[in-house]
Structures are given as C-alpha cells and as structure tokens.
C-alpha cells in the first residue's frame, strides 16, 4: 500500500460541489472531483473516457493553512439570445478560497499506478489549475510517494520557508475518506459529460502539528 502526496497552493482556488446557475460555491478544501479533474488534465484524458480507476483511489486532505472564503459579484451585460434579441443582465456570485495551503493524499494498493500519476503531474498534457483556469499552482504539485497508508502519509512534514509564510497552526484539520460517516459528499465523478456524481463519506479530525514527521 502506498500514498501519493500532492501540494496544492495558490493565491486563489475554487472547490465547488453543488454550484447551480448563478451561485458558484466553494468548499474550504479540495473536492474529489477537482483532484480527479486535475489528474485527468495531467494525463490528457478526455471527458468521455472513464475515470473509474481514479475514483477508486482513497483520498484525504490536510489543511496546512485555512484559506479565506471570498465572493466575487459578476454581471454580464447586453447578452444576446439565440433569437437575436437582447437578453437581460445576468448576475452571478462566485466564491473562492484565498491563500490556502493543502496536502492531498491518494492511496492505492498498486504503487505503479501512483508513479504514473506522479510522472504525469510533473509533465502534464494540459494546463493544471485549481477550479478555474486562472487559478494556477504556485508550486510543484507532486510531493512524492510514500509506502504508508493514507492516515500515516498525511503526517508528512511540509518544509516551508521560515520568512515566506505564516507559521503552521498548532493543529491541522484533516478530511479523510471513510467507509461510513454522517458527512456525505457528492463529489465522486461518474460521468463528466453527463455531469453525474456519486457519493462518499468523509471524517474530519485534527492532527497536532508537532507530530508531523518526514516520511522520506
């Protein structure tokens, strides 16, 4: 059993999981659909191909730095209908997370699968971004692969420049996929083209920062 570790950091990110029409929401941590979409972009896998193999990976997120949830107010003026008539002003609210820092783990029994994903992230076929095309990574995404289960892998120590970022908090929030829980997320992609998603259960816990160690 092995776990692929990903570092997700950017000035702005968006993790929508139930956006509808003019309200584009965002969770405070990456959704599984967003992470799988990122992997598909790295692999160059088109929307009509199956993602069953990627959805089967067990996922967990450790929040190194909680971001600030902000909202942009958008208006689109003078839109034209298909009939040629002038449309009404369209108003939308778009949420995003600013200045967050995440460690994402993907667990698999076959290390070779994770090695292929790690290589693809280092040499992606298509552009990698976090929720919107303008939200690009501010550091390399692939951290490495460790021969540990997900629960242990999320204790991996992240080295941060002492003067570049705020210190880590005393406890880090972790959101990990589990077999059963009351917290159900509908963010497992089943069919991209038809926008079909399955559900998964997650558990939220807190890790003491001083327990994080180097697993390499």
What is the block-wise mean pLDDT of the chain (216 residues), using blocks of 10 residues? 95 81 81 96 94 96 92 76 75 87 96 98 96 89 95 81 64 95 92 87 92 65
Query: Based on the number of CB atoms within 10 Å of its own CB, is 63 exposed (0-12), middle (13-18) or buried (19 or more)?
Result: buried
Identify the structural domains of the chain with CATH numbers, from first to last. 2-66+98-156+168-211 (3.30.70.2660)
Residue with tokens 């929720």: 131
Q: Which conformational region is residue 195 in: left (phi greater than 0), alpha (psi within -120 to 50 degrees), or beta? A: left
Specify the DSSP class assigned to residue 10. Answer: E
Q: In whole angstroms, what separates CA 166 from the centre of its chain? A: 22
Q: Is residue 101 within a helix (H) or strand (E), and if so which, with residue range?
A: strand 90-108
The pLDDT value given to residue 99: 92
Do 159 and 64 contact (CB within 8 A), yes or no?
no
Task: In whole angstroms, give the CA distance from residue 189 to residue 199.
Answer: 9
Instruction: Please list, residue by residue across 12-27, b when 16 or more beta carbons sit within 10 angstroms of its beta carbon and e when fewer do.
Output: bbbbbeeeeeeebbbb
Task: In whole angstroms, give the CA distance from residue 124 to residue 118.
Answer: 10
Give me the sign of the Cα torsion angle 173, 214, 114, 3.
negative
The pLDDT value given to residue 215: 56
The pLDDT value given to residue 89: 79
Query: Based on the number of CB atoms within 10 Å of its own CB, is 194 exposed (0-12), middle (13-18) or buried (19 or more)?
Result: exposed
The pLDDT value given to residue 166: 62
């Amino acid at each position: 059993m092995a776990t692929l570790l990903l570092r997700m950091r950017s000035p702005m990110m968006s993790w929508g999981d139930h956006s509808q029409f003019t309200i584009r929401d965002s969770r405070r941590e990456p959704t599984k659909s967003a992470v799988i979409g990122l992997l598909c972009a790295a692999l160059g896998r088109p929307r009509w191909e199956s993602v069953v193999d990627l959805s089967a990976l067990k996922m967990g997120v450790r929040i190194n730095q909680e971001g600030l949830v902000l909202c942009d107010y958008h208006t689109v003026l003078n839109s034209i209908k298909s009939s040629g008539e002038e449309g009404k002003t369209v108003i939308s609210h778009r949420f995003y997370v600013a200045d967050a820092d995440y460690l994402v783990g993907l667990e698999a029994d076959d290390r070779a699968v994770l090695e292929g994903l790690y290589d693809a992230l280092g040499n992606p076929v298509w552009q990698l971004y976090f929720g919107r095309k303008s939200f690009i990574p501010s550091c390399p995404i692939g951290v490495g692969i460790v021969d540990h289960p997900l629960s242990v892998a999320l204790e991996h120590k992240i080295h941060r420049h002492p003067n570049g970022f705020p210190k880590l908090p005393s406890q880090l929030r972790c959101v990990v996929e589990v077999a059963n829980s009351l917290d159900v997320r509908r963010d497992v992609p089943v069919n991209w083209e038809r926008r079909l998603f399955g559900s998964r259960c997650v558990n939220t816990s807190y890790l003491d920062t001083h327990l994080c160690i180097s697993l390499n």
